[in-house]
Chain A
Amino acid sequence: MAAHQVCIPYRRLFCVVWLFLVFGLAPSLSASAFALDQGAISENAAAAALEKAAPENLEDLRAIQGQVQTIVKKVLPCTVGVRAGGAWGSGVIVREDGYVLTAGHVSAQPDREVTLFLMDGRRVKGKTLGANRGIDSGLIKITEEGTWPFAPMGNSADLRPGEWCLATGHPGGYKSGRTPVLRFGRVLSTTRELIQSDCALVGGDSGGPLFDMQGRVIGIHSRIGGPLTANIHVPVDTYRNTWERLAKAEVWGSQLDGRGRNGAYFGLHVDTDSKECRVTEVDSGAPAAKAGFKVDDVITRFDDKKIASSEELVNQARRKRPGDEVAVEVVRGQETVMLKLVIGRREGRPPGPPPG
Chain B
Amino acid sequence: MRTRFTRGAVPLTIVWLTLATCTLAPAQERFNRDPNLQKSSARVLKAFRAAVAKPSESTVRVQVDGKDAALGTIIGPDGWILTKASELKGKPICRLHDGRRLEARVVGIHEPYDLALLKIDTAGLTAVEWHDSKSAAVGTFVAAPGLEESPVVVGVVSVAARAVTARDLPPSNNPASGYLGVRLAEAAELGARISQVLPNSPADKAGLKVDDLFLTLAERTIQDVDTLLDALGHHKPGDVVAIRVKRGNEDVVLKATLDRQPTGGRGGRGDFQNRMGGELSQRRNGFPTILQHDAALRPSDCGGPLVDLDGKVIGINVARAGRTESYAAPTQAVLPLLYDLMSGKLAPKPSTEAAARQLTPEDKVAGARTAVERAEAEKATAEKKLAEAKASLEKAEAEARAQKSASK
By a beta-carbon cutoff of 8 Å, the part of chain A in contact with chain B is 4-5, 7, 10, 13-15, 53-58, 60-62, 64-65, 68-69, 71-72, 76, 81, 83, 85-89, 103, 105-106, 108-109, 111-115, 161-162, 164, 170-179, 181-186, 188-189, 191, 193-194, 196, 198-207, 221-230, 232, 255-259, 267, 269, 283-284, 346-349, 351-356
**Chain B residues within 8 Å of A58, by CB:** 47-48, 50-51, 309
Assembly CA distance A286 to B312 (angstroms):
54
Contact present for B15 and A224 (CB under 8 Å): yes
B294 lies within 8 A of chain A by Cβ:
yes
A200 CA / B294 CA spacing, docked (Å)? 8
Shortest Cβ distance from A7 into B: residue = B2
Q: Which residue of A lies closest to B269 (CB)?
A: A356
CA distance A206 to B158 in the complex (A): 17
A182-B163 Cα distance, complex, nearest whole Å: 18
For A115, the chain B residues whose CB sits under 8 A away are 226
Known A113-B226, A228-B278: A86·B21 in contact at CB below 8 Å:
yes
Q: Which residues of the partner chain A approach B38 to less than 8 Å between Cβ atoms? A: 185-186, 188, 198, 229
In whole angstroms, what is the CA distance A177 to B15 when docked?
A: 27
Q: Is B270 part of the binding interface, using a Cβ–Cβ cutoff of 8 Å?
A: yes
Q: Could you tell me if B13 and A355 are in contact, using CB atoms closer than 8 angstroms?
A: no
- Name the A residues within 8 Å of B2 (CB-CB): 5, 7, 257, 267, 269, 283
B325 touches A223 (CB 8 A): no
> Which of A86, A112, A346 has the most B CB atoms < 10 Å from its CB?
A86
A223, B22: Cβ atoms under 8 Å?
A: no
Complex formed: what's the CA distance from A356 to B15 in Å? Answer: 12
7 closest A-B pairs by CB? A173-B170, A351-B26, A258-B27, A206-B17, A225-B12, A54-B43, A348-B11
Assess whether B309 is in contact with A65, with CB atoms less than 8 Å apart.
yes
Distance A14 CA – B184 CA, assembled complex (angstroms): 15
The answer to whether B170 and A172 touch across the interface, beta carbons within 8 angstroms, is yes
A164 shortest CB reach to chain B, Å:
8
Residues A352 and B13 in contact, CB atoms below 8 Å apart: yes
Evaluate contact between A13 and B23: CB separation under 8 angstroms.
Answer: yes
In the complex, the answer to whether B309 meets A61 with C-beta atoms within 8 Å is yes
Minimum distance in angstroms from B308 CB to a CB of chain A = 9
B13 touches A225 (CB 8 A): yes
CA distance A355 to B22 in the complex (A): 8
Given contacts A5-B1, A191-B3, A226-B276, whether A181 and B325 have CB atoms under 8 Å apart is yes
Do A355 and B25 contact each other (CB < 8 Å), given the known contacts A171-B325, A183-B158, A202-B273?
yes
Selecting from B29-37, B56-64, B364-372, B379-387, the interface stretch reads B29-37
Interface centre among B11, B28, B162, B171 (most CB of A within 10 A): B28
Interface centre among A15, A115, A172, A199 (most CB of B within 10 A): A172
CB distance from B310 to the nearest CB of A (A): 9
List, sorted by A's number, 27 A–B pairs whose CB atoms are closer than 8 Å: A54-B43, A55-B47, A69-B140, A76-B138, A85-B184, A87-B20, A103-B16, A114-B226, A172-B173, A178-B162, A179-B159, A181-B292, A181-B324, A184-B39, A185-B38, A198-B40, A200-B294, A202-B322, A205-B17, A222-B17, A223-B15, A223-B16, A283-B4, A349-B12, A351-B26, A352-B26, A353-B26
Known: A113-B188, A226-B276. A88 touches B18 (CB 8 A): yes
Closest beta carbon of chain B to A293's beta carbon, Å: 14
A196 and B31: CB pair below 8 A?
yes
Question: By the criterion CB–CB under 8 Å, are B266 and A356 in contact?
Answer: yes
| One of A161, A226, A228, A267 near B37 (C-beta < 8 A) | A161
How many residues in B have their beta carbons less than 8 Å from beta carbons of A? 90
Within 8 Å by CB of A225, from B20, B31, B163, lies B31
Which residue of chain B has the shortest Cβ distance to A193 in the bound complex? B1
Q: Does B29 lie within 8 Å of A257, measured CB to CB?
A: yes
* Complex interface: chain B residues within 8 A of A189 (CB): 3, 5, 31-32
- Chain B positions within 8 Å of A200 at CB level: 277, 294, 296, 323-324
Q: Is B164 touching A177 in the complex (CB atoms < 8 A)? A: yes
CB distance from B145 to the nearest CB of A (A): 14
Q: Which residues of A contact B19 (CB under 8 A)?
A: 87-89, 172-173, 203-204
**CB contact under 8 A between A54 and B294, given known A203-B19, A255-B25:** no
B240 part of interface (Cβ distance < 8 Å): no
Residues of B within 8 A of A232 (CB): 14, 29
Q: Is the CB of A182 within 8 A of B226?
A: no
Distance, CA A138 to CA B68, complexed state (A): 46
Q: Is the Cβ of B16 less than 8 Å from the Cβ of A222?
A: yes
Q: Identify A223's interface contact among B17, B32, B33, B43, CB under 8 A.
A: B17
CA distance A232 to B27 in the complex (A): 11
A188 / chain B contacts, CB cutoff of 8 Å: 31-32, 34, 37-38
Q: Please name all residues of chain B whose beta carbon is closer than 8 Å to the beta carbon of A89 when the two chains form the complex.
A: 17-19
In the complex, the answer to whether B168 meets A177 with C-beta atoms within 8 Å is yes
Q: Is B225 an interface residue (CB 8 A)?
A: yes
